[in-house]
Amino acid sequence: MTSSRLRILENGALEIVDPRFEDLTLLREVDPAFSIRTTPLPGFIAPRFQAMRNLGCGISIPELERMGTDRLWRIHNSALEKWTSSETVECSRRGVSLLTLKVELARRLLMDCTLCARRCRVNRLAGERGYCGLGSNAIVAESFTHIGEEAPINPSFVISLAGCALRCRYCQQSAILFPTHVNGVELTFDLWKDLDFTDARTVSFVGGNPDESIFGILQFLNSAPPDLDLPIVWNSHAYSTPEVMALLHGVVDAYLPDLKYSNPACGARWSKVEDYPVVAREAITQMTGQNVPVIVRILLLPGHLQCCHLPALRFLASLPIPPFVSIRGQYCPDWQITASDAEMATRITLEEGVSVTALARSLGLALIGSS
């Protein structure tokens, strides 16, 4: 019995949203040729966060607690620079770990929250709630092994977190946008014993959006079993701050960001953020500088070929280290989309999909598909 969402398309085809292992029988009945696509994740050897747990910062717990935030950031950046430059650190196990330092920095950010580019600056530790609606805890809405992700990360055990800084009117995960409406569980170390990674090749933090829950996620990873050897994937909407990007550096083994809009007016109309293009482009630029695979998802939106998708591809091709690109054609007029929303009330056309794919190839971008 599937727990996924099913849609019957106008042409009579069956569409399974976020397919999972229990959907395999149904998928193969519909399409006997269906297979779970996998390819190696480029460059992966071992989870980076495990290295962060073993790299000491040279300060004690009492020093960590009493030091000013600016000084902690300097210690963080220095330790991270030594690690990324492959220098030998003689006292690599001395003091608290770099991951513990990241947890503390994330905790302090909660007191003046800048964990998304809205920068609400509320004190979430004191119970204040900003746009995302989250308190200090990360809330897991659901978790399962996804079999329809991009081949280098597929199948992926996804930990889907409540809360998001965006309000995309076509959101396919609208049920978990508002944390107070989600009947979920807190992301704590106790959850490790309940998670089954048997069929997974990666672990993905998704949403909603994971950035807003980074404090809870870093705490969770800091309590992970020492033998956990799966890559960590960060699946986000890319409306991210430099602070979050710095905390994720050395923790994430692959990024899976969206690049939704190139036109500020489109971001304002459909996701209620006017500065999405500049914020997302800067975040993706920072991701590509962290020496891990970056797979940029472009969800094709009806009528957004010229204003958003083609400029996005040209931007990605212009980066010093161009990312992989995943062109997704499964847009559906969900949630708040109505018949009055013109093209956005329809599905993507074949011609739009062909045009975007052709330009991506002509620009020399590496395309990655999913199952």
Residue 93 has a pLDDT of 64
Compute the chain's Rg from CA coordinates. Answer: 20
How far apart CA 73 and CA 70 sit, in angstroms, is 5
Q: How far from the centroid of its chain's Cα atoms is residue 179's Cα?
A: 18
Instruction: Summarize pLDDT for 33-61 with one digit per residue, the tens.
Output: 889 999 999 999 999 999 999 999 999 99
pLDDT score at 87: 46
- Residue 34, pLDDT score: 87
C-alpha distances in Å from residue 60, one per residue of 57, 97, 327, 335: 9, 9, 47, 49
**How buried is residue 10: exposed, middle or buried, by Cβ count under 10 Å (0-12/13-18/19+)?**
exposed
pLDDT (0 to 100) of residue 92: 54
Distance of alpha carbon 202 from alpha carbon 200, whole angstroms = 6
Are 49 and 247 contacting, i.e. CB atoms less than 8 angstroms apart?
A: no
pLDDT at residue 91, rounded to an integer: 42
Which residue ranges in the chain fall short of pLDDT 50?
Answer: 1-2, 87-91
Q: Where are the domains of the chain?
A: 1-35, 36-46+108-362
Residue 1 confidence (pLDDT) = 43
Q: What one-character-per-residue DSSP string does 126-143 give?
A: GT---TT---SS-EEEEE
Closest CA to 258 of 190, 194, 326: 326
Question: Side chain identity at 155, as an amino acid letter?
Answer: P
Peptide bond connecting 208 to the previous residue in cis, omega within 30 degrees of 0 = yes
284/194 Cα distance (integer angstroms): 33
Fold that domain 36-46+108-362 belongs to in CATH: TIM Barrel (3.20.20)
Q: Look at residue 369 in the predicted model and tell me its pLDDT.
A: 81
Closest C-alpha among 39, 15, 37 to residue 27: 15
pLDDT for the residue 134: 97
- Report pLDDT digits (tens) over 237-272: 999 999 999 999 999 999 999 999 999 999 999 999
Task: Read off the tokens for 124.
Answer: 């979430």
